[in-house]
Amino acid sequence: MEFKIDKYGVLTEYMGSASEVTIPNNVIEIGKSAFQGCKCITSITIPDNVTEIGKSAFKNCRNLASIMISGSVTRIGDEAFSGCRSLTNITIPDGVTNIGDGAFSWCENLTSIIIPDSVKSIGENAFDEYKNLKKIIKNDDT
């Protein structure tokens, strides 16, 4: 089995080697550091039943280039995608209310971020250390 999921529906560890990963439907939360440092992942799909992406969940997944986050996610934890250097654009879905500290820091190739009206809290340095960022769209700018 590629995923370790606890009895509460928290994905605590990924042990696979696939480049394209879809989170299983029985997961409600992606736990702390569950995918941290996975070099094999290039694409991740997070399904509708997931409500939270935990601290450092995908930190330093340097080849992660594509993220599909469902509208059921309400919180993106501290440093959740920090160091994902292959990401070029992010659309945060409507429904997310909280983006943690450093959530997308050190995503050096990020050029575009779209943040919906639902986001009420953005942590310190959530979008920090970008060389190529050209636009951030927030609220009614979309």
Q: How far, in Å, CA of 110 to CA of 104, rounded?
A: 9
pLDDT in tens, 79-108: 999 999 999 999 999 999 999 999 999 998
pTM given for the model:
0.92
Pairing of strands 89-91, 20-22: unpaired
Q: Nearest-5° angle of CA 33, CA 64, CA 66?
A: 115
Task: Identify the CA nearest to 113 among candidates 72, 77, 79, 141.
Answer: 141
pLDDT in tens, 9-36: 999 999 999 999 999 999 999 999 999 9
- Phi, psi of 114, rounded to the nearest 5 degrees: -115, 120
Going along the chain from its start, the domains and CATH numbers come out as: 1-142 (3.80.10.10)
